[in-house]
């Protein structure tokens, strides 16, 4: 009886050591795994990779943005410069042409001839036909009195000696005035030529241009090469002002004739200039201007910068849109690649840790197996002596008549011999299990192997009132597999089945042959079952719902790996509150590659 208690204690010790080894290794592996914060590695990898990919993209996009904007602004300035330059030359030519025409008239006609209204009207008609733009003509003597006038107004006899333009033409010889109202009270400008007579006196031939400057500028604008720059759909204007900022031609945006312009008068220069300015509302303007020589006029070409840059704004929006799309694609690509790589790294690390654990765990099981074999061997020696002596005592009792009549003695000896036989059977099972813990590919009788595994759990099943039902038919042929690994698979799954039940219940083990030369083992329990959300994680390393009671989350993961090493697979079905079924599908013959892999993994 003492030897039986020793063997039972040995079984409890093996089980206890097994759990302790798992717990110690699990704690070490958890500490080891905490050294790798994969979430932090993922975040750092994602940020660094995104930074290296996106920062250059943004950098070159900003450079392209600024360069393109400067180029477009430079092109706008250049076009405005050309338009301004061509236009002021056209305006200057227009005025000089008419001055030259008047100069020709005074040289070819005497003072007396010009004072004849009929001749003067004929000259005006010829000027209108040849050059256009003339409103009237007048001959003014040196006292400022208009002697002869032809035109739409009643201006004969008017004295201009007190007007500013008269003084300028007397002093300069030829003069183009600013736009003013004068006696006619209509905006006009004067082109006047001074001519000396033979008696030393002088007279002035005066021509008037009115209502035509805006039309003239429009016509000039349509004739210049860069006129296509002026688009009626944009806020672009072309007009004349004098040096005091008084409008000389009408502008739809900056005022009527003789009104003060609403933007600053540009500083004097004898070159064509293009500058940036602002109107009274703060809008950005591009202003091209030129002081027209020998006049008080300043040609102004004013363009709304925002309207001119509208194509650039549109392309800017497209650039930003393309940049945003590119960044999004890059981020999504990096996110996917980083997530995939870190997930693979995490899985690889978990597999590596699991295999290290399996190797150490197998070594420890082998050590425990050797210990169990040594203990069983040492127990067998005294058991043999006890068996021998008990048999001798029984034989003596048969020969001594005083003992033959005492049935109690004979029953006691029979009980001793039965107990010795039971102890021998247990030690043989221990020795058999220890021998098969190393790699051992051999022909396996499934029913015998299942009974060997169950023999280690018989006492626990009796203690907890768990029925273990083995339903394996005799016609299942022997098959080739690794005996030790298959024992470990069955032992782990049956242990899990026991753990899922408190007291009572049943575990049923069935087996059947499949059509594709495989055998399937089904282990069904009536335990608590596994929820559907946990069912897909049960073979993952370190996943456990029993960590508070010593679960490591490695048992089923190791079992799954062992089944794959044997060329098989494990499937599971479970219903919460009803129970779980594990289906182990194994080939009936190991292929050489699988066998080699299995031996390598197991070693």
What's residue 232's pLDDT?
38
- What DSSP state is assigned to residue 581? E
Q: What is the mean pLDDT of residues 166-180?
A: 92
Range of lowest pLDDT (230-234, 261-265, 344-348): 230-234
pLDDT of residue 19: 47
Question: Would you say residue 179 has pLDDT above 70?
Answer: yes
Q: Which domains does the chain have, with CATH numbers?
A: 2-20+365-602 (3.30.565.10), 91-208 (3.30.450.20), 215-311 (3.30.450.20)
Yes or no: say if 170 and 183 are a contact pair by the CB < 8 Å rule.
no
Average pLDDT over the chain, rounded to an integer? 80
Q: Which positions ≥6 away from 19 have C-beta within 8 Å?
A: 550
Kindly state the average pLDDT of the residues 119-137: 91
Question: What 3-state class would DSSP assign to 509?
Answer: strand
The arithmetic mean of pLDDT across residues 501-511, rounded, is 89
Residue 38 has pLDDT above 80, yes or no: yes
Rounded Cα–Cα distance for residues 139 and 192 (Å): 10
Question: For position 582, what pLDDT does the model report?
Answer: 92
Question: Would the pLDDT of 538 be above 90?
Answer: no
Is residue 474 predicted with pLDDT exceeding 50? yes
pLDDT tens-place string over residues 269-305: 999 999 999 888 888 899 999 999 989 999 999 998 8
* pLDDT higher than threshold 50 for residue 1: no
CA–CA separation, 301 vs 253, rounded Å? 12
Q: Picking from 266-280, 360-374, 448-462, 550-564, which range would have the lowest pLDDT averaged per residue?
A: 360-374
Would you tell me how many other CB atoms lie within 10 Å of the CB of residue 291? Answer: 19
Band the pLDDT of 149: cuts 50, 70, 90. very high
Q: Is the pLDDT of residue 92 over 60?
A: yes
Weakest mean pLDDT among 6-15, 125-134, 403-412, 559-568 = 6-15
For residue 164, pLDDT beyond 70: yes
Q: Among 236-240, 350-354, 534-538, which range has the highest average pLDDT?
A: 236-240
150 vs 115, 319, 336, CA distance in Å? Answer: 10, 65, 90
Looking at the predicted structure, is the pLDDT value of residue 598 above 50? no
Alpha-carbon gap, residue 350 to 345, rounded angstroms: 8
Pairing of strands 236-242, 273-278: unpaired
Query: Is residue 203's pLDDT more than 60?
Result: yes
Distance of CA 147 to CAs 171, 188, 205, 217, 498, Å?
A: 20, 20, 10, 33, 135
Angle at 565 between CA 564 and CA 571, to 5 degrees: 20
pLDDT per residue over 386-413, tens digit each?
877 777 777 777 777 666 667 777 777 7
Q: Which pLDDT tens digit goes with each residue over 69-84?
A: 888 889 889 999 998 9
119 pLDDT tier (thresholds 50, 70, 90): very high
Lowest mean pLDDT among 93-102, 148-157, 352-361, 544-553: 544-553
According to the model, what pLDDT value does residue 364 have? 65
- Separation CA 345–CA 348 (nearest Å): 5
pTM of the model: 0.52
Q: Write down the residue that tokens 């975040």 correspond to.
A: 43
């Amino acid at each position: 009886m003492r030897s039986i208690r020793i063997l039972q204690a040995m079984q409890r010790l093996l089980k206890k050591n097994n759990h302790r080894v798992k717990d110690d290794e699990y704690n070490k592996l958890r500490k080891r795994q905490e050294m790798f914060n994969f979430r932090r590695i993922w975040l750092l990898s994602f940020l660094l990779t995104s930074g290296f990919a996106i920062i250059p993209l943004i950098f070159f996009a900003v450079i392209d943005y600024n360069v393109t904007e400067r180029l477009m602004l430079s092109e706008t300035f250049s076009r405005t410069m050309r338009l301004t330059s061509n236009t002021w030359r056209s305006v200057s030519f227009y005025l000089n042409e008419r001055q030259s025409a008047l100069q020709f008239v005074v040289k070819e006609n005497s003072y007396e001839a010009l004072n004849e209204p009929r001749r003067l009207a004929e000259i005006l008609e010829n000027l209108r036909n040849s050059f256009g733009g003339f409103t009237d003509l007048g001959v003014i003597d040196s006292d400022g009195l208009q002697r002869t006038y032809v035109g739409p107004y009643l201006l004969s006899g008017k004295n201009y000696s007190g007007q500013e333009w008269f003084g300028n033409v007397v002093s300069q010889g030829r003069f183009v005035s600013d736009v003013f109202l004068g006696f006619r009270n209509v905006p006009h400008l004067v082109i006047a030529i001074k001519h000396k007579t033979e008696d030393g006196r002088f007279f002035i031939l005066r021509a008037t241009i009115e209502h035509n400057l805006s039309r003239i500028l429009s016509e000039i604008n349509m004739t210049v090469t860069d006129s296509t720059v002026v688009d009626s759909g944009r806020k672009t204007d072309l007009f004349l002002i004098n040096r005091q900022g008084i409008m000389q031609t009408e502008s739809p945006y900056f005022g009527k004739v003789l009104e003060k312009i609403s933007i600053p008068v540009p500083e004097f220069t004898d070159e064509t200039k293009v500058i940036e300015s602002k109107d009274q509302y703060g809008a950005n303007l591009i202003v091209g201007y030129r002081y027209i020589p020998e006049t008080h006029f300043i040609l102004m070409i004013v363009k709304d910068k925002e309207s001119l840059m509208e194509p650039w704004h549109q392309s800017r929006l497209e650039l930003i849109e393309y940049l945003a799309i590119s960044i999004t694609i890059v981020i999504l690509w990096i996110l996917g690649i980083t997530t995939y790589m870190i997930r693979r790294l995490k899985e690889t690390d978990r597999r590596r840790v699991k295999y290290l654990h399996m190797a150490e765990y197998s070594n420890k099981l082998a050590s425990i197996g050797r210990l169990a074999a040594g203990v069983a061997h040492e127990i067998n020696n005294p058991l043999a002596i006890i068996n021998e002596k008990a048999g001798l005592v029984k034989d003596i009792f048969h020969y001594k008549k005083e003992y033959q009549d005492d049935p109690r003695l004979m029953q006691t000896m029979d009980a001793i011999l039965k107990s010795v036989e039971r102890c021998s059977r247990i030690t043989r099972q221990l020795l058999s299990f220890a021998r098969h813990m190393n790699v051992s590919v051999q022909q396996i009788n499934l029913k015998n192997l299942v009974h060997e595994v169950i023999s280690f759990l018989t006492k626990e099943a009796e203690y907890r009132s768990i029925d273990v039902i083995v339903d394996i038919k005799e016609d299942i042929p022997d098959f080739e597999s690794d005996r030790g690994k298959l024992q470990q698979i069955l032992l782990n799954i049956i242990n899990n089945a026991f753990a899922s039940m408190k007291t009572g219940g049943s575990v049923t083990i069935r087996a059947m042959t499949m059509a594709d030369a495989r055998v399937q083992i089904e282990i069904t329990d009536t335990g608590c079952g596994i929820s559907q959300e946990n069912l897909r994680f049960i073979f993952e390393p370190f996943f456990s719902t029993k960590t508070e009671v010593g679960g490591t989350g490695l048992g089923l993961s190791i079992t799954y790996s062992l089944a794959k090493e044997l060329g098989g697979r494990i499937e599971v079905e479970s219903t919460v509150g009803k129970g779980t079924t594990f289906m182990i599908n194994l080939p009936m013959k190991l292929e050489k590659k699988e066998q080699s892999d299995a031996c390598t993994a197991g070693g």
